[in-house]
A and B are shown apart, each in its own frame.
Chain A
Amino acid sequence: MEHIERTQIKVSPKNRLIGWGLVWLGVALCSLGYIVDAREAAFNNVLNFLFLAGIGIGALFFLALEYVTGAVWSVPIRRVNEFLAWLVPFAALLAIPILFNLDTVFAWAQKNIAASDALLRMKEPYLNRSFFILRFFGIFIVWIMFIRLLTRNSMRQDATGDQRLTKINTILSAIFMPVFALTLTIFAVDWGMSLDPHWYSTIYGIYFFSGTATASLAALTLVTAVLYERGFFPKLRRDHFYNLGALLFTFVNFWAYIAFSQFMLVWYANLPEETSWFIARWHGGWEYISIVLILVQFAVPYFVLLPQEAKMNIRTLRRMAVWLLFAHALDLYWLIMPAFSATPPLGWMEISFPILIAGVVLIVLGWQVQNLSLVPVGDPKLKRGLEFRL
């Protein structure tokens, strides 16, 4: 078996400077935002927190999926998912300011709301501040535990090449799957659905998953493509990229399917307690966002990624990955912001948080690539993965 070299990337001081610069600029702007208008800042905080946490835990999902299905084609790029997964604890840090501002964001968190709102009174055993914070910590503890276990085994395998670690990770991944389903649903219900506490939809957790998974996949594709174009993945082939493209295409379709199902069922039954949510997104300027969302998250990626050649073209994939990340941000904006304002907000605060998370992503990825081999050299499936052909 030919020996595959460890690939470790040295992050240049310039890139490190950019990363930290963005972080500090972001922190400054966000703090200013909280001082100027705590409510708008808190909502933007929620949006970006969900964006970052989603990409991170989505990456862990794909990692687990690779182990559970026994896939080989993604083994050479698995480390990228591990890097992305480590965004999760930093996303949790990002949520801390929100925990101190719960009543500005969540209607149900306001003091004495139960006195005036009978429906919220009925939901009070679930929608109360203590239980909410408990769930937040519980979910992140569970997620970070799985991230640590899975990535630690993968790291150990680099040194020992022990095949039993693959078996252990496979079992851990299988256990993670149902845990992920339940925790992500609770996460989505808590941070997304309860923004409009009178409304409910049983598919909401799956909807959130579809958008999150697409974004994680886009992040994986983007990082892989950028590193490949810089020469760090010399042995990857169009065959590997085709699979990434095919997965992106699949998840774009999956998002559209879930989004349409939710919309059509609410539209058809026409029950006021359900339609209110969509009606809010059809007035005051939100209708334009709704239409743009369909175009950006479904129509354009569908036709761009439909031809087989496009799925293999690395430049197309790189551009589509960036596009889909913006599309997911728009999706979250459309989910969250109507609870903040009846018209779509756009100001400096909407940009300050993305600056912060851009910096966080650069710093975290930079830290990870320096410590770990880019390619999991100890993985027994690595050779088969590199030899993978369509």
Chain B
Amino acid sequence: MNMAQKENLYAITGLFDSPDAVLHAAEETEKAGYTKFDVHTPYPVHGMDRAMKLKTSKIGLFAFAFGLLGAVCAVLFISWVTIKDYPLVIGGKPFWSWPAFVPVSFEVTVLATSVLSTLAMIVLYFKFPNNAHPLHDTPYMKSISSNRFGIAVQADDPKFDEKEVTGFFKSLGSKEIAPVYFVPADQDMRPALFDPKFLGLLLVIGLTASAATYFTLNKILYLPPFDWMMVQPKLKAQQPSSFFHDGIGMRPPVEGTVARGYMPYPYKGKPEEAGKYLINPLFPTKEVLDRGQQKFLTYCSPCHGNFGRGDSRLQGQFPNPPTLLSDKVRSWPDGSIYHVITEGQNAMPSYASQVSREDRWAIIQYIRALQRAQHAHESDFK
């Protein structure tokens, strides 16, 4: 054996024929003080961990942590989606419907822990993939992967001495003891991550994936049959249509169409009945009067003036209405005033489209307040 090979020694290996033999051998190896050694078996042998004094695997902690991570992320994400970003009322349920979140959260938890723990184990614990290990392709490994059991004591163990280890294995009953060497060619292969061929492969995959995605989403989806629902014979808003004589797709409502919530005014053209039958449903509370005041100032004051005297700034430019504080108007029932606002009178147009029905009644209450102010009683000042 020449010096170059001696420096290239990885380990001395010994094969055993039965699980009992290798278990005993492992115990003795550990007792002898070797630390950099490993046992190889075609299947897990019970009790080997204890024989090698291996600590219990901590992979369970990884699994727990990943599972917790998955659970928390899933719940937070679903909550954010259903409460903040895209809240929809589904089946009358509240946005925070935790019973409905459970199935997806559970699945994501299991997915996260299974995939991530396995990856962590393979990459971090095993440091796989690694097909360049010195034990690969040796007769030792070929025996192990079939039906033999073995121990390998590494050359870089502090207590390593080739003759000693060989003798030690012989004393334990091993019949096949062989050295294993590093293969120089394999050693040059690290680190594989920055190998130009590998990077080239990544680049090719990236380009192919991008091209495929681009073509699929921007070109192929516009080809038949995938585009069949993009062009539909139904009429969309603002589209022309040859079906109608004027070529316009959008049609006005048919004669007699009634708006939703529309209720006809029963006293159209009948001021006396309006005065007789309409009753103000609102009471002169502070809210009503405030509202009446606000609406009066908005809609009525341009012509009638701020206090109903008919002295608005339109004086001269536009015929002024008579004062609302006259005895005549004071004697009018509320319904008559309502009728005037609804239908208009003389130069005054109908305000029905600007002032809602309730607001009209509020305005009337306010007018009554203005009238009362003009003809106040002694008792009003108390």
Q: How far is the CB of A286 from chain B (nearest CB, A)?
A: 18
Asked, given contacts A268-B91, A270-B92, whether A263 binds B60 with beta carbons under 8 Å apart, the answer is: no
The 8 Å CB contact of B99, one of A263, A306, A307, A389, is A263
A322 within 8 A of B: no
In the complex, residue of chain A having the shortest beta-carbon distance to the beta carbon of B103: A264
B93: which A residues are within 8 A, CB to CB?
A: 268
A288 within 8 A of B: no
How many angstroms between the C-alpha atoms of A46 and B100 in the bound complex? 34
User: B interface, by DSSP: helix, strand, loop or mixed?
Assistant: helix
A260 within 8 A of B: yes
Are B92 and A264 in contact (CB-based, < 8 A)? no
Are A267 and B99 in contact (CB-based, < 8 A)? yes
B373 within 8 A of A: no
B76 within 8 A of A: no
Asked, given contacts A270-B91, A270-B92, whether A264 binds B60 with beta carbons under 8 Å apart, the answer is: no
In the complex, residue of chain A having the shortest beta-carbon distance to the beta carbon of B92: A270
A116 within 8 A of B: no
Are B102 and A264 in contact (CB-based, < 8 A)? yes
Are B92 and A268 in contact (CB-based, < 8 A)? no
Are B60 and A268 in contact (CB-based, < 8 A)? no
Are B99 and A264 in contact (CB-based, < 8 A)? yes
How many angstroms between the C-alpha atoms of A306 and B67 in the bound complex? 13
Are B99 and A308 in contact (CB-based, < 8 A)? no
A307: which B residues are within 8 A, CB to CB?
A: 60
Q: How far is the CB of A310 from chain B (nearest CB, A)?
A: 12
Are B102 and A268 in contact (CB-based, < 8 A)? no
Asked, given contacts A270-B91, A270-B92, whether A308 binds B60 with beta carbons under 8 Å apart, the answer is: yes
Q: How far is the CB of A313 from chain B (nearest CB, A)?
A: 15
Chain A 143-158 per-residue mask, 1 if CB under 8 angstroms from chain B, else 0: 0000000000000000
Q: How far is the CB of A281 from chain B (nearest CB, A)?
A: 15
How many angstroms between the C-alpha atoms of A378 and B67 in the bound complex? 47
Chain B 37-81 per-residue mask, 1 if CB under 8 angstroms from chain A, else 0: 000000000100000000000001000100000000000000000
Q: How far is the CB of B47 from chain A (nearest CB, A)?
A: 9
In the complex, residue of chain B having the shortest beta-carbon distance to the beta carbon of A265: B99
In the complex, residue of chain B having the shortest beta-carbon distance to the beta carbon of A389: B46
Chain B 83-95 per-residue mask, 1 if CB under 8 angstroms from chain A, else 0: 0000000011100
How many angstroms between the C-alpha atoms of A307 and B91 in the bound complex? 40
Chain A 254-273 per-residue mask, 1 if CB under 8 angstroms from chain B, else 0: 00000010011001101000
Q: How far is the CB of B48 from chain A (nearest CB, A)?
A: 14
Q: How far is the CB of A376 from chain B (nearest CB, A)?
A: 27
A264: which B residues are within 8 A, CB to CB?
A: 99-100, 102
Q: How far is the CB of B357 from chain A (nearest CB, A)?
A: 38
Other than the given A270-B92, A307-B60, 8 more pairs (CB < 8 A) read A260-B99, A264-B99, A264-B102, A267-B99, A268-B93, A268-B99, A270-B91, A306-B64
Closest 3 CB pairs of A and B: A264-B99, A267-B99, A263-B99
17 residue pairs of the A-B complex, CB under 8 angstroms, read A260-B99, A260-B102, A263-B99, A264-B99, A264-B100, A264-B102, A267-B99, A268-B91, A268-B93, A268-B99, A268-B100, A270-B91, A270-B92, A306-B64, A307-B60, A308-B60, A389-B46
